[in-house]
A and B are shown apart, each in its own frame.
Chain A
Amino acid sequence: MNIRFTLNGQDVLIDVEPERRVLNILREDFGYFHARGTCYTGECGACTIFFNGEIAPSCLIPAFTLRESKVITFEWFSETEDCQDIIKGLADAGYESCKYCTPARILVIHALLENNPRPDEDEILRALSGMRCYCSDYTSLIEGVKNAGLIRNRRR
């Protein structure tokens, strides 16, 4: 099945089986390895991408739904100033990044800050509730998200 969609700002045309997961397409066909597959049920959040402007677990997106959609992966997002704000905010709070989940967490934090530039603790925890990696302490993570919001607000 030929599918045309926008991947990281570029129009692409691929020939894939419609029942294939987007997670696998990104990793195997395009070499975008920051989206990671673990649970394949959408629960762990490690495969999060932006799908039509919203965060979504790429393991739960079949290829046939990609047609004319817009997909953004961490690889593209990591080049933006928004991403650097989040990385700085987290680092300032002493958050120790985990190679496994941090890319997805950063996308989730970006989605949160876009809708709510000054989230409170509950809102941060609720937004991050879709991430099931227990690598970090939540105190520094919450502090880091708040820092990132402040840094971003100052820059904009």
Chain B
Amino acid sequence: MIEKSKSPHTYSPENLGDLLSLYKSMPDALVYGGGTYILKNQKREFLSLPENVIYLKRVEELNRISRTERFLEIGSSISINRVLSIGKHILPAALYNCLLGVGTPGIRNLATLGGNICVRDRRMDTFPLLHLLDARVELRKAGGSRWIQINRLFDSEGKASLQPGEILTRIRIPFDEWNVQVYHKLGSRAREGETTLSFCGLAKTQKGVINDIRIAYGCLGKQILRNREIEAELSGLKVPINIKDTASAMELLKENMDKIGIAISNFQKKRAVSFLRLFLLRLAEV
């Protein structure tokens, strides 16, 4: 007979001050936003939760969205569907498509943007894209706050740079004129592993020349794959990109995927190259 473990102590602070002081006093507590990732692999009636759980949904400051001419700022406890409700004309097109691919409509009502970024054991859907968009995140703890680039949230081995008692409170996404934005995802939340892959591509073209181009791959465990060598090679080229340059970029990607220390299946490699080719073809349509 399976014995039920002791029930956790749960806390629902209603403002940021209470949340930070509570988290300071118990830095080992589980910070619970939507909980969709935490509960994903639990099948029993009684959920397995740590001794202390801090529920974020009631913290008013984490549920705000604000917008200026230069950026959009989203509270970390905002649900994915609420971010989508900002609208496709305001959100970057690739981000809108990316968010539509997160879970199911019901899950998106529970899952939060902060949670999608903060999961420690894998980089979720939005992470590579927000990285390309130069998003910044605000980290706060009792007595201090700091803004960092989202790519600095985890080190190269995927370890979080959050200090004890520190919490992600806001995500700032700059508005930038990316005239080509592509997001593709293979596989689903239910099938993570060797058959999943996401592709994010952003480009700025002017008078038929690529001014800036960024490419990243996600769904690869704790890391994302961004290759600046390919980006540098493609920048400055005229669109449509000729066959030789396209083949060269694809070759470079293949070489790099073999060199880097991320475990990528052959299926993922093939699809990664296909996504790059489709993206480069798409540039010609601008």
Contacts and interface: CB of A to CB of B under 8 A. Distances in A.
A129 B47 contact: no
B106 A130 contact: yes
A24 to B, nearest CB: 5
A1 B110 CA distance: 22
A61 interface: yes
Interface in A50-82: 51, 54-57, 59-62, 64-65, 67
Contacts of B189: 43
Contact of B100 (A43, A64, A126): A126
- Chain B contact-residue range equals 20 to 34
A51 B126 CA distance: 25
- Chain A contact-residue range equals 20 to 34
A40 B42 CA distance: 7
Contacts, number: 94
Given A60-B110, A62-B39, A64-B53, A24 B45 contact: yes
Contact of A61 (B4, B104, B110, B190): B110
A59 B46 CA distance: 11
A48 B107 CA distance: 10
Interface in B1-30: 4, 7-8, 10, 12
Interface in B67-83: 79, 81
B49 interface: yes
Given A62-B35, A126-B100, A45 B106 contact: yes
A88 interface: no
B63 interface: no
B40 interface: yes
Interface stretch (A12-20, A91-99, A133-141, A146-154): A12-20
12 contacts: A18-B10, A19-B47, A41-B39, A41-B40, A45-B104, A55-B106, A56-B109, A57-B110, A60-B35, A60-B107, A62-B49, A64-B12
By Cβ-Cβ distance, the 5 closest A-B pairs, closest first, are: A130-B104, A64-B10, A54-B109, A19-B47, A57-B106
